[in-house]
Each structure stands twice: as C-alpha cells, then as structure tokens.
Chain A
Amino acid sequence: MKLSAIKLPKPSDLTGTLRAVAALFPDPRDVKLPKNRKEARKAAKDFWYGKPHGERRLGDLYCEKTGLYKHREWRGVKDTFYYFHMIWLYNYANMVMDIMKFGSPVTFVKGLWRYRWMGQTYLPVLHWFDRGLEGMRGPALRASAWHYRAMTCVTINQFMNMFEADGNLRNGAHNDAWHHAMAHKETVWGGIFYPWMDKFKHIPLEMIPYFVTCHVNNHTVLNYIDAAQSLGLPGDPCPMCQAEAGIFVLDDVPDYAPFLVTSNEACDGSVASTAIQDWFWNRPLFAMPQPMQFDDPLVQEHCANEIRECWKFIEEQTGVPFNWELLKENLEKQNELMRFEWEKWDVDAKTGSYPINGVAQALYRIYQSQYGEHFIWHFVDGKVNKIMTRCVEKKIDTFPKTRHRVIAWSCAPLYYSNWCTWAYNCWGLNTVINMDSLMFDMTIRTDTLDHCVEDMARYHEWAPMRRMAVGGMHHIFELWDYMERFRCDMVMMYDQLQCKGMQGVVGLFEDEFRKRNIHAIWMPHALPDKRTVSRAEIRRIINDYMTTVMKEEPLDPSLLEFDDDMSW
C-alpha cells in the first residue's frame, strides 16, 4: 500500500470524533458539588461503597441505542478494584494462559481467522461478564464471577481441542489429535465417553460454535439460522436446531474427529437436524435416542442397552476397549460436583445468603452437568464454597433488594440469559433457581456396572428439556414442588414460541397458575433468535406485569426502557 493512499481525517471529521468522545463523559456543568457536610458525607460514602441499589441509575451508563457502556460501573472502592483485578484482568490473563495451556497460539489464531463463530465471540467475552454481573456487589459479585471463569476455561479447552485436531486448519490432513478425538452432539452427556478419557478427548459438536456464541454475541447465530433456511427449511422448526444445521451448511464446523455420537435431546427438531448433519459431515455416526416419556421400566432397559451399544460403537471406532475403572473414577469425581450442587441448593432454598445470581447459576449448571468432568469445576466449586460458607456463617443478605423469589421454568432465551440480572436490578426480582439447574438431579452408582449403566440411562433421560419440557405432565409439573422447596412466590415462565412440546401445555399451565393463585409472567422468545422477540420486548413484558398487575415501582427507573439491539 502506498503512503499516498492513506487518507488523513479532515479537520471537520476530527472535530466530530472529538465531540463524540466528549459526549461519553459527563458535562462538568452537570456535576453537582456537595453543598453541605451531610451531602459531602453521602458523596464520600457513595464513593467508598458505591451508590446503593435503589439510588443508583445503571441505565445511565449505556451509550444510547447500543447497550454498550459509556464507562465502567463504579461499585465502590473495594468491589470496583475487585472487578478490575480479579474479574477483568484475571480473566483476560487467563484467556491467554488457557490458550497456551490447551494448545498453541498459532492454532488459536488460525481458528479465529477460519471460523465466524470464533472470530465474533472471543473478544466480547468480558462484555458477557459485564452483562451478567451488572450491579452485583460483595459475595454475589465474587461467587457469580467464579462461575463465569469456569465456563470460559472449559470453552477455551473445548475449542482448542477442536482446533488442535482440525483438518480444515491443516489442508485436510488428519493428525494424531484428530484420531484421538470423539465428537458428539452437545446434548449427548460427556459422561458417556469417560471410559476413554485417558487417551481420547470428547468434544461436543455445537456447544461452542452454537450454544456459547449465543450468550456471548447474540448476532453471530443469526447467520446460521438464515443459512439453514436458505436451503428451503421453513422458519417454524426449533431455531436452535436450525442454527446447528446452519453451521454445517456454511461449512463452519471444524473437522476434528473421525466419528460422531448423536442424540434426540430433546425434540423432533434435534432428530431431524441430525440427518442434515450426517449428510454434511459424512462419517460413522451412532444415534443414541432416548424416549421422551421415560417412566416405563421397559424404557429403562432400552436406554441402558443403547448406552452399551454406543460403547461397542466407540470400541469399534477407536480400537480401544472400554475401561470400567476409568469410568468409575470420573463418575465419582462428577458425583462430588453433584453433592456440592446439592449443598448450594440447600443454602439457596433455606437462607437468604446464597451468593450466586440467576444467570451464573443457570449457565454454570448447564455447562457443568452437560459437559461432565473437568478440573476447573472442582477448582471453582472450592472458591465458591469458601464464599458461600462465609455468607452463611455471617448471615450476609446477598441480594438485599429481593422483593420476589422467582423460579424460571422451561427453556431460556439464549440471547438474553442475563435478563435475571436486569430483573433484579430493575425490579428486585431475584431468580433463585431455574429449570436447567434442576436437571440431572442425581449421583450415579459405581458399585457395579449394571447399576452404573442403569443410572447413566436415567441421567440421560433427566436432561432438562427431555424431563421437564416433554417428559410428561408429572415431570413438567414438578414446578410446584420446586417452588415450595425454594420458597418462590413468582414464576418466570419461558415461552419458546417454536417449541411444539411446551406450546402444547400453555393452557394447562395457565389453569394451574390461576387455580394456585401464582403470579407468573410469560416470557416469549425464540431461543437463539432475537429477531422474533427482542430483549427490549422481553423487558417491556416484565415491566407491564410489574406495574399493572403487581402495582410496584421500579428500583431503578433508568433500566425500564433502553435499546440494546446493537449490543453483543
């Protein structure tokens, strides 16, 4: 490029840019100096502790029409410094360290360049933290942030494993890592692959390209949905499955493993998208469908046999025999995680000192239980345990502005998983538990192989959508028991507009809500597709219910209406 080709900005452009930058900062004339000692003391207190919930105006932090921040939130000296060092800096540093730990930076850059979902989501990760942790203080900030750290680490581990084995990044050549990788649909529980964990890596196919990207950058997935529809697929099937198919249509899937294990979790769309994936990927595939209505004992036997058949398939593909000791070892580690989760639920249900916010609770749990054993879960659980124990011992009220204890039920909007952070900040709606957290609610016996397989089958059947969305009325209505257990007085009822399973029971839920006199807000959404129901519309629906039915005033009116359509 010639130097003469470089165009310097005109003075008029420069002035405009400077004006735009200046607009980000408060006008000095608007800054009110304290008039008396009382005001000065209050200003000093706000500086030291941060403005209290109810007085602060978080909505003023956003750049208009973007949902992006003008500047970072001042949370008081201690929490702001904690956020800067232990969340922002610590996680950025670890995002680099993890890449070095799980592979090579060169491979990372190649992957970043090659895959759209990777290029568009790596850098906004800390904005994903910011959205989920907005307004959090003290132990709630710290414990929730640790959950985010774990999810980020596992995500990096997974995509680095993909890239290290990826034939697409090596001109089609298949290296040793490719021969030692096992691909599975994200809805196949990672525990199925434990018997080969010493020599092979199991990597979910869509967990990172689809699921994680929706949370981090809600724009990325739209391209994949459009790609699937460009083939002639209608718009009404589940948009999650459409997006998963679209990744294949656009050839945006790493070629990282010689075979694939799929599942029907937990709907017809998932089954159907498997067919399209098989056509594009074209390699040995084992389908492990588990019946939706699983309470019949005959179904148990069938599911257990499917798992055994899957193991035979893996043995054939890898040439490595099934290792019972390895399975046992990993299951016991996973059982430890479940036992700690039960402790967490106990604190959540019985005290006001639970330090994890709604979005961290939901996402961490779904990542952890679906992916399976990983060292980072244990590390983070140790950190969270310390924080939680301190909260309980000191009886710290972790969410002091709670007006309603909310349970979120059914499948959540992936593009707005942090709605519960907003709902707490704006209305004091504290989402204490959700359906996705309550899935896989069991430990697995390891005394004999038969018991183990029986429990593994049950575990697979208890996947969230299968159990509580399409698993029959008894399971769908487990909601009432959980409401009682977690002392909830309100339900946030997710209404996935393209989920035929849950659409069929809307009327039944409405009848039950009226009969039981339960406040329930229906939240329409389309899983990853924000174009169907925007984040702003979701907020408007909650605002309307809170003002017209509950007749309450917002804690932070600046959060009532804002346009974050362009935000990640």
Chain B
Amino acid sequence: MTLTCPKYLILPYLRETAEELRTREPEPASPYRCRVVLSGAENDDPEFTRLIESCGALVVADRYCYGSLPGREEIAVAAGQSPLDAIARHYLTTSCCPRFMPQEDMRSRKKYLADLVKEYHADGLIVVSNKFCEYWSYERTMDALILPRDYNIPTCSIEKEYVNASTGQLRTRFQAFVESVEIKKLQEAK
C-alpha cells in the first residue's frame, strides 16, 4: 500500500468488495461486441477509452506512454544498488517507447502487442498516435501493417490530436472497426 492509501484504511473496503464479488450476479450478456487492446502514444484522457467503449469495444488492456502496460513488473533493487539507479534501469529495460533503436527492441515491440492481445483474449487492436509525434507516426503505421499480416490481428489505426477532439469522426471509425471484427468472427465461425 502506498502513503496515499494506508493499509488500515483500505482493508475494510477491500473486504466489502470481496464479499460483494462472491454474491454478485453476472450480467446476462456483455454489452460489448468485441474486446480490444489499446496501444499508442501519450494519452491521459479516460474519455478516449470511454469513447471506444461507447462504440461497443471493451478495452481490456492499454499500452500507452502512461498506460498500464508495461508497468506492473517488480522493480528489483540489486544488492548495493541505489533505488534511483534501479528505477532508471527498470525504465530502460522495460519501456516500449519507439525511441529505442536496437534491432531486438524494434522487433520485440510488435511481439509484445501480439502477446497482449493473446493474453487478454482480445479480438483486435487499436493503435493511436498523436499528431506531430514522429515516433508514433511511424510505429502506428508499421503496427497497422505488421500485426494483421504477421500475427493475424485485426488492427485499427488512428491518428488524433492530443486533446479529445473530432469525436464524431472517431466514433465512426471505431464503429466500423467493431463491425469488421464481428464480421471476421462470423466468417471464422462458419
């Protein structure tokens, strides 16, 4: 537990939630039509995720600059190592930022996304880049080509502004993507 969430304060609520989970009835059917992994550049606006979900795609994992993944790994402090050094090393070894140039890093970023889709049982991938971000302009372009071709993952490629604008156009794109994923699933079922 962190300093902002002391153990003695949060535990009663966690127990209450655990109890509720045991007895809660699942919803009869998911309101979502497909599951997606969200990947891309800097995005700290939850409204964007809501926008995608309002179009019928449940975001099951996200890989943003500030996203959830990668970021849940343990930061190991080796004997004699300073915590600051350990944090710096952790960032350098786990980051998936496209500014890392070694060949194995450039290639493993694609595999990492494919693994996320598999691990979270997602049906597709949405890759988003912010206007004027050079790294993600290229990374998004390549993801949109490589992931469907080499990993057979339906991919929706979006270029947007940093702020949540043009939501009408984006909604159309996401609705179309959800539909295309559904059609693919139907075709596979045949």
Indicate whether A and B interact. Answer: yes
> Is the C-beta of A236 less than 8 angstroms from some C-beta in chain B?
yes
- A319: CB under 8 A from chain B? no
Task: Decide if B98 touches A272 in the complex (CB within 8 Å).
Answer: yes
Interface size on A, residues (CB 8 A): 28
Whether B101 contacts A264 by the Cβ 8 Å rule is yes
Cross-chain contact A272 with B134 (CB below 8 angstroms): yes
| A287 cross-chain contacts in B, Cβ below 8 A | 101-103
B99 at the interface (CB under 8 A from A): yes
**B138 shortest CB reach to chain A, Å:** 4
Provide the bound-state CA to CA distance between A271 and B140, in Å: 14
B127-175 residues at the A interface, CB under 8 angstroms: 129, 131-132, 134-135, 137-142, 144-146, 157, 159
Residues B135 and A268 in contact, CB atoms below 8 Å apart: yes
Q: Tell me, rounded to whole Å, the shortest Cβ–Cβ distance linking A113 to chain B.
A: 29
Interface string of B95-139 (1 = CB under 8 A from A): 000110111001100000000000000000000010110110111
Digitize A257-283: 1 where CB-to-B-CB distance is under 8 Å, 0 elsewhere: 000001010011101111110110000
Q: Which residues of A contact B157 (CB under 8 A)?
A: 232
**In the complex, A11→B67 CA distance in Å?**
74
Whether A500 pairs with B144 at a CB distance below 8 angstroms is: no
The residue that B138 contacts in the complex, of A272, A285, A500, with Cβ under 8 A, is A272
Do B106 and A275 touch (CB < 8 A)? yes
Query: Which residues of B are found within 8 Å of A275, using beta-carbon distances?
Result: 98, 101, 106, 138-139, 142
How many Å lie between the Cα of A100 and that of B159 in the bound state? 50
Asked whether A232 lies within 8 Å of B144 as measured between CB atoms, the reply is: yes
- Contact: A232 with B141, CB < 8 Å? yes
Contact B101 A245 (CB under 8 A): no
> Assuming A234-B131, A500-B134, is B141 touching A271 (CB within 8 A)?
no
Q: How far is the CB of B96 from chain A (nearest CB, A)?
A: 12
Question: Is residue A289 within 8 Å, beta carbon to beta carbon, of the partner chain?
Answer: yes
Known: A232-B144, A236-B132. A289 touches B138 (CB 8 A): no
Residue of B nearest to A233 (CB): B141
B141 proximity list for chain A (CB < 8 A): 231-233, 276
Residue pair B142, A279 in contact (C-beta under 8 Å): yes
Specify which chain B residues have a CB less than 8 angstroms from the CB of A337 in the assembled complex: none
Whole-angstrom distance between the alpha carbons of A271 and B136 in the complex?
11
A54 CA to B99 CA in the complex, in Å? 53
Assess the B139–A233 pair: CB atoms within 8 A: no
Interface membership of A238, Cβ < 8 A: yes
Q: Are A238 and B134 in contact, CB atoms less than 8 angstroms apart?
A: yes
> In the complex the two chains form, is B144's CB within 8 Å of A274's CB?
no
Pick the contact of A269 from B129, B134, B140, B159 — CB < 8 Å?
Answer: B134
Pairwise interchain contact B103-A500, C-beta atoms closer than 8 A: no
Q: Which of B99, B137, B138, B159 has the most CB of A within 10 A?
A: B138
Decide if A271 touches B103 in the complex (CB within 8 Å): no
A269 to B141, CA, bound (A): 13
Asked if A400 is at the interface (CB within 8 A of a chain B CB), the reply is no
Name the distance in Å between B52's Cβ and chain A's nearest Cβ.
19
A380 to chain B: closest CB distance in Å?
A: 35
A482-508 interface with B by 8 A CB criterion: 500
Q: Give per-residue flags for A211-245: 1 if the beta carbon is below 8 A from chain B beta carbons, else 0.
A: 00000000000000000000111101110010001
Please measure, in the bound complex, the distance between the C-alpha atom of A500 and the C-alpha atom of B130, giving whole angstroms.
14
Chain A residue numbers with a CB within 8 Å of B134 are 237-238, 241, 267-269, 271-272, 500
CA distance A241 to B157 in the complex (A): 21
Nearest CB in chain B: distance from A355 CB, A: 40
A284 within 8 A of B: yes
The reply to whether A245 and B138 form a contact with Cβ atoms under 8 Å apart is yes
Residues of B within 8 A of A237 (CB): 134, 137-138
A276 to B101, CA, bound (A): 11
Complex Cα–Cα for A231 and B157 (A): 11
- Given A278-B106, A284-B103, A234 contacting B146 (CB threshold 8 A): no
Contact call A234/B98, Cβ cutoff below 8 A = no
> Chain B residues with Cβ under 8 A from A285's Cβ?
103
Q: Which residues of A contact B98 (CB under 8 A)?
A: 271-272, 275
CA distance A76 to B98 in the complex (A): 58
Does the CB pair B159–A231 fall under 8 Å?
no
Do A268 and B132 form a contact, CB below 8 Å, given A237-B138, A275-B139, A279-B142? no
Which chain B residue shows the least CB distance to A274?
A: B101
Inter-chain contacts of B137 with A (CB < 8 A): 233-234, 236-237, 272
Interface hub of B102, B141, B145 (most chain A Cβ within 10 A):
B141
Partner of B140, one of A232, A279, A286: A232
CA–CA, A222 and B107, complex, Å? 29
**Smallest CB–CB gap between B177 and chain A, Å?**
14
Contacts of A279 in B (CB 8 A): 106, 142, 146
Which residues of A lie under 8 Å from residue B106 when comparing CB positions? 274-275, 278-279
B142 touches A276 (CB 8 A): yes
Give the residue name and chain of the A residue nearest to B157 (CB).
Answer: A232
Chain B residues within an 8 Å CB radius of A269: 134, 138
Cα A425 to Cα B160 in complex, Å, equals 46
Question: In the bound complex, what is the Cα–Cα distance between A285 and B105 (angstroms)?
Answer: 11
A241 contacts across to B, CB distance below 8 A: 134
- Separation in Å of the A263 CB from the closest CB of chain B? 9
What chain B residues lie within 8 Å of A500 (beta carbons)?
A: 132, 134
Q: Are A271 and B101 in contact, with the CB atoms below 8 A?
A: yes
Inter-subunit contact A272/B139 (CB<8 Å): yes
Q: Which residue of B lies closest to A284 (CB)?
A: B103
A368 CB to closest chain B CB, in angstroms? 27
How distant is the Cα of A264 from the Cα of B135 in the complex, in angstroms?
A: 12
Q: Tell whether, in the assembled complex, residue B103 and residue A234 are in contact, meaning their CB atoms are under 8 Å apart.
A: no
Which residue on chain A has the smallest CB distance to residue B138?
A272
Which residues does chain B contribute within 8 Å of A284, judged by CB atoms? 103
Contacts of A262 in B (CB 8 A): 101
A233–B138 CB distance below 8 A:
yes
The chain A residue sitting closest to B143, CB to CB, is: A232
User: In the complex, what residue of chain A is closest to B159 when comparing beta carbons?
Assistant: A234
Shortest Cβ gap from A122 to chain B (Å): 31
4 nearest interchain CB pairs? A287-B101, A272-B138, A268-B134, A285-B103
Which A residues contact B (CB, under 8 angstroms)? 231-234, 236-238, 241, 245, 262, 264, 267-269, 271-276, 278-279, 284-287, 289, 500
Question: What are 23 A-B interface contacts by the 8 Å CB criterion?
Answer: A231-B145, A232-B140, A232-B141, A232-B145, A232-B157, A233-B138, A233-B141, A234-B129, A234-B131, A234-B137, A234-B159, A236-B132, A237-B137, A264-B101, A267-B134, A268-B134, A271-B98, A271-B101, A272-B135, A272-B139, A278-B107, A285-B103, A500-B134
Supplied contacts A271-B99, A276-B138, 15 more A-B pairs, CB within 8 Å? A231-B141, A232-B157, A233-B141, A234-B129, A234-B137, A237-B137, A238-B134, A264-B101, A267-B134, A271-B135, A272-B138, A275-B98, A275-B106, A276-B141, A287-B101
